[in-house]
Every structure is written in structure tokens, then in C-alpha cells.
Amino acid sequence: MCRYAPEVNTENKEIMEMYERGMHFLGDWHTHYQKIPTPSRQDIVATQRCYHGAITELPGFLMIVVGKNFPEIPCSLSYLTESVIEHFKYRQFDGAGTD
């Protein structure tokens, strides 16, 4: 199995360079070979470290994990700060309007 380990210092440098040009880093995405994708502990720790080291006006970062059955089973979405981890639950959208 191949594991990706982000280089947090390099990521934070890139985030700061983009921020100085008026762009905001919202978060990160990647894939997991899982039927129902969920972030690993390593994903959470790396994203929290990245948020801690970044200069940002945002209250947290988003993390999307796409699984092997996308789009039948959608991706995982999480919101992270240094101390908060919020995982959003998937809800089937039937495309019907609410007018």
C-alpha cells in the first residue's frame, strides 16, 4: 500500500504565497481506495497541522476524500481547525426542487 505524507512546511509556504496574491486556501482533497471514504487519522493530523501553520482569515479548512465508488457513493467532507473535527453526513439528493 502506498501512503501519501504531505510536506506541511512546503504546503504552508505555497498557501502563504497564494494568500499574498489574494487567494485563499480552502482545504485539500485526495482519494482513498474505500467503498465509503473516510479521512484517516493521518489525514486529520496533517490538515490540522497545515491549518495551524497557515496565515489565513478562514475559521478552518475543508477536507474531501473521494472513494473508489464515486459517484455512486459520494465523497466524504470534513471541516477542521486545530481543535475541531466536523464530519458531514451524506444525504441523498434527488434533484427535486423545493419551490
Taking the C-alpha atoms of residue 68 and residue 10, their distance in angstroms, rounded to an integer, is 28
Region class of 29: left (phi > 0), else alpha (psi between -120 and 50), else beta: beta
Taking the C-alpha atoms of residue 86 and residue 66, their distance in angstroms, rounded to an integer, is 17
* Annotated domain spans of the chain: 8-88
Q: pTM for the whole thing?
A: 0.78
> Tens digits of per-residue pLDDT, 41-72?
999 998 898 888 888 888 999 999 999 988 88
Confidence class for position 94, pLDDT limits 50, 70, 90: low
Residue 86 or residue 15, greater confidence? 86
Q: Which residue in the block uniquely carries the three cell numbers 464530519?
A: 87
Confidence class for position 21, pLDDT limits 50, 70, 90: very high
Taking the C-alpha atoms of residue 40 and residue 37, their distance in angstroms, rounded to an integer, is 9
